[in-house]
């Protein structure tokens, strides 16, 4: 397994456009997380899935954001009507839910620039 | 929610020096991880250490869960150690999400 994979690595979009990012987790991991990181800050939690169920959403996740994990494998994060404030690094992570080890592993991130 | 404070915020070292990075957290935790963020933004796992001490080469980490802090030690620093170091915790009884500190920016000069 090559680890958590995210696509695209970079995305530049015009304000008002919709964008979609993809995350492929480590295959044996049943948990998948999305985080957002802005310049000079640590990553902030957005949402997480256990298998295909979305179990928690942060208040940071406005109505313009939606995430899916339809078959419990890969996930997509869509941002509708992008705003300049959405410019950030979007990070995906995965982990198992096994007792005693929930170590999370992160992908390389998708850097979004809204112009 | 849980608070995570890292110190110092910035650190400048000469190559070969040793350093200690600190992470304080405000509540009990199930999970604590240290990451190094490379210049391209990827978070590289250093340690998964909810308690105890671990070592990996020139790096070691200790978490004293009862006193709610963790330390990351870097010995004989190299220029490639430069970057941002994050501590992240998962509170006990929470739902597995990590809360990150603001990070420590380390610069190792040749």
> From residue B3, how far is each of A64, B67, B89, B98, B99 by CA, in Å?
28, 14, 9, 11, 8
Eight-class DSSP state of B96: S
**CA–CA distance, A92 with A31 (Å, rounded to integer):** 11
pLDDT tens digits, A20-64: 999 999 998 999 999 999 999 999 999 999 999 999 999 888 899
**CA-closest candidate to residue B27, choices B110, B86, B99, B81:** B99
Choosing among B33, B43, B86, B101, which should be mutated to test the A contact, i.e. which has the most A CBs within 10 A?
B43
When pLDDT is averaged across residues A75-89 and rounded to a whole number, the result is: 97
pLDDT at residue number A110: 97
When pLDDT is averaged across residues B78-83 and rounded to a whole number, the result is: 95
Chain B residues with CB inside 8 Å of A44's CB? 100
Query: Is pLDDT of A2 > 60?
Result: yes
**CA–CA distance, A88 with A38 (Å, rounded to integer):** 5
A43/B96 Cβ within 8 A: no
A106 or A1: which leads in pLDDT:
A106
Chain B residues with CB inside 8 Å of A87's CB? none
Q: Could you tell me whether strands A65-68 and A75-79 are parallel, antiparallel, or unpaired per DSSP bridges?
A: antiparallel
């Amino acid at each position: 397994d090559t680890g958590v994979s995210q696509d695209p690595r970079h995305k530049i979009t015009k304000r008002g456009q919709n964008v979609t990012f993809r995350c492929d987790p480590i295959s044996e991991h049943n948990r998948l997380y999305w985080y957002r990181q802005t310049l000079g800050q640590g990553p902030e939690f957005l949402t997480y899935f256990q298998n295909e169920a979305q179990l928690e959403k942060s208040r940071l996740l406005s109505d313009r954001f939606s995430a899916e994990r339809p078959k419990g494998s890969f996930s997509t994060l869509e941002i509708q009507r992008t705003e300049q404030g959405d410019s950030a690094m979007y990070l995906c992570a995965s982990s198992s839910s096994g007792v005693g080890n929930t170590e999370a592993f992160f992908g390389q991130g998708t850097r979004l620039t809204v112009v | 929610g849980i608070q995570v404070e890292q110190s110092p915020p910035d650190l400048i070292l000469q190559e070969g020096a040793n350093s200690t990075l600190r992470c304080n957290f405000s509540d009990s935790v199930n999970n604590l991880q240290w990451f190094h963020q490379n210049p391209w933004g990827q978070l590289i796992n250093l340690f998964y250490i909810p308690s105890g001490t671990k070592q990996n080469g020139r790096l070691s980490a200790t978490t004293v869960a009862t006193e709610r802090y963790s330390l990351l030690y870097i010995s004989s620093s190299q220029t490639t150690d430069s970057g941002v170091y994050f501590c992240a915790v998962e509170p006990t009884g929470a739902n597995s999400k990590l809360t990150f500190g603001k990070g420590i920016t380390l610069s190792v000069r040749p």
